[in-house]
Structure 1
């Protein structure tokens, strides 16, 4: 009877252990919990944990299969970059497939929108030989193609990046740049740029799992940029007006007088062209803009010899292209 009792107790212990193990594998170590933990890591801005989740990282062969460069930037795979992660996460379904993989569908709120994603996960070698482990069969990581228009820099979250990082040669001098970045997903990102001379409005994008998403960060001149160009234009025209000649060298205005000039011409700028800048193919351009110069000069009529004064307004137009030098100064090219 004692032997039977001990055997029954042993069976009860084993049964209890197997039941507990089954419960753990169905919950904490289950495929649904695996997906849920990944999404919660994004929500907690623990991007290091999310990025190191089995099956998230892409190897060289996978990058090549997706047509992505082997040196694609991983700079966005860090905390402080995501503007909104998945919240109110609910596992909608967990379907076991014949090959042992599971299709796990999760619903979540991303910002103001409710979204739903299905993740294919497959088993790994069990932990201690008994506890289930999983990996993503298809990486949920996203690719964001960033076009930094008219300025190579952009800001995402609290990180400022340079789209020229992996470029060489003539690519470095392009006016606009496009570069791909790996980004944890699903998540929302906000792109912008703000400096003394350039600013780009906020652009928000949602990167779904395994999606390739384009975004353009459109940098435009700030009022300070326009003011600095205006100052350079005014200085240039003032220097032109200081030349005591009828045709100031390298200047947009001048006059021809057939009679004899008897005194030095005196120029003044009545109206300076008002600078406006718009993005062109390779620079920020000011279209032909009108200004007015005034000349005052004494002359003698060659026919009858009488003296007279020329007082005349001389309209002119000025166009230019402005770029920002690597040292932050502004380069202007007159057109």
Structure 2
């Protein structure tokens, strides 16, 4: 309803208003398109989307996005919970603006920055322009690549733990294809042998596998078991009332007559156990023990008797037969495996 002071709007003015409104809408659409093209449809957005998939353990989707070739090996770290664990220490993930590749108009390089267990790292990705979506938005796809691999080596054992997952070894080695970035923590612990955790951050593809060589060490239980077996062997030796106990390192020679009942061997000091890895096997270093012999000698010419105490050091070696849970000790002088 028109009031007394109102004036009818002319058709020209109404058309102008609609034209201005249409121009505003067009400007907003164009601005939104440009913004979306720079963000949601940018090369760096693809890199961020890839990292989100890795963090969620979506390995199959990540592989599809990357168009990556998976090299031979144990694929346990490429999906699910293990993949998530390789990404747990990756934080503060950001990307730089995509940079052109010299001589390649359709390629862009995106550098990502992040912390791997608190240490600043970076990775680079190459993407290729692949036309337009809906005639408006750029399409960027990852240039085909091959995933990096990690070679995990350990002696003595047939499996190790990688990011809380048991991984079998073949001839002491396992090769794992991995995404990048990834953090891998490898270790193992058995009754007889263990290796401290070694971590590795994979930041880029490489022609040769990144190597994690675990340093195997005998456990305290392993050394204690060997020590008990050597002690048992020596205790058996000193229980014999002879001058040369059979299969034992001890020996005493004399030209005098000796009453066997007076012979008494005892251990003054047991050997120190030292185990080393040599030429593919665990070996026991030469052993030295100190023993005391008391006896009564009778001179064959005069018949006089003399009580003697003789203390000396004796050396011997022993061979080990080991597994991750068992150990046997065979003194070389004896030639028979020590019981127990």
CA distance in 2, matches of 1:83, 1:320: 47
C-alpha contact (below 8 Å) 1:241/1:268 kept by paired residues: yes
SS at match of 2:167: strand
CA RMSD across the alignment: 3.7
For the pair 1:192 / 2:187, whether they are aligned, the reply is: yes
Deviations, residues 66-122 of structure 1 (Å, cap 9, x unaligned): xxxx4x222232333455225231233243774633322222233333333321123
2:94 is matched with 89
Which residue of the other structure, out of 230, 233, 236, is the alignment partner of 2:230? 233
1:92-131 aligned at under 5 Å gives the runs 92-95=97-100, 98=104, 100-122=106-128
C-alpha contact (below 8 Å) 1:45/1:85 kept by paired residues: no
Which residue of the other structure, out of 246, 252, 256, is the alignment partner of 1:249? 246
2:335 is matched with none
SS at match of 1:258: coil
1:183 is matched with 178
Moved more, 178-187 or 232-241: 178-187
Q: 1:14 to 1:331 in 2, by over 3 A?
A: farther
1:267-306 aligned at under 5 Å gives the runs 267-306=265-304
2:201 is matched with 206
C-alpha contact (below 8 Å) 2:192/2:326 kept by paired residues: no
CA distance in 1, matches of 2:296, 2:67: 82
Deviations, residues 148-169 of structure 1 (Å, cap 9, x unaligned): 14544332221232322xxxxx
C-alpha contact (below 8 Å) 2:238/2:265 kept by paired residues: yes
Number of residue pairs aligned between Structure 1 and Structure 2: 308
TM-score, reference length from structure 1: 0.75
Which residue of the other structure, out of 259, 264, 270, is the alignment partner of 1:262? 259
Q: 1:192 to 1:83 in 2, by over 3 A?
A: farther
1:76 is matched with 77
C-alpha contact (below 8 Å) 1:83/1:157 kept by paired residues: no
CA distance in 2, matches of 1:277, 1:83: 37
C-alpha contact (below 8 Å) 2:156/2:323 kept by paired residues: no
2:51 is matched with 39
Deviations, residues 161-199 of structure 1 (Å, cap 9, x unaligned): 2322xxxxxx4xxxxx33322122112222333333323
1:108-187 aligned at under 5 Å gives the runs 108-122=114-128, 134-139=140-145, 141-164=147-170, 171=171, 177-187=172-182
Deviations, residues 219-240 of structure 1 (Å, cap 9, x unaligned): 2112222111111111111122
C-alpha contact (below 8 Å) 1:89/1:108 kept by paired residues: yes
2:313 is matched with 315
TM-score, reference length from structure 2: 0.74
CA distance in 1, matches of 2:146, 2:34: 28
C-alpha contact (below 8 Å) 1:119/1:136 kept by paired residues: yes
SS at match of 1:240: helix
Alpha-carbon distance, 1:297 to partner: 3.3
C-alpha contact (below 8 Å) 1:154/1:160 kept by paired residues: yes
SS at match of 2:94: strand
SS at match of 1:269: strand
SS at match of 1:224: helix
Higher-Rg structure is 2
Moved more, 212-221 or 313-322: 313-322
Alpha-carbon distance, 1:272 to partner: 0.8
CA distance in 2, matches of 1:301, 1:180: 73
Q: Unaligned stretches of 5+ in structure 1?
A: 1-7, 64-69, 165-170, 172-176
C-alpha contact (below 8 Å) 2:242/2:260 kept by paired residues: no
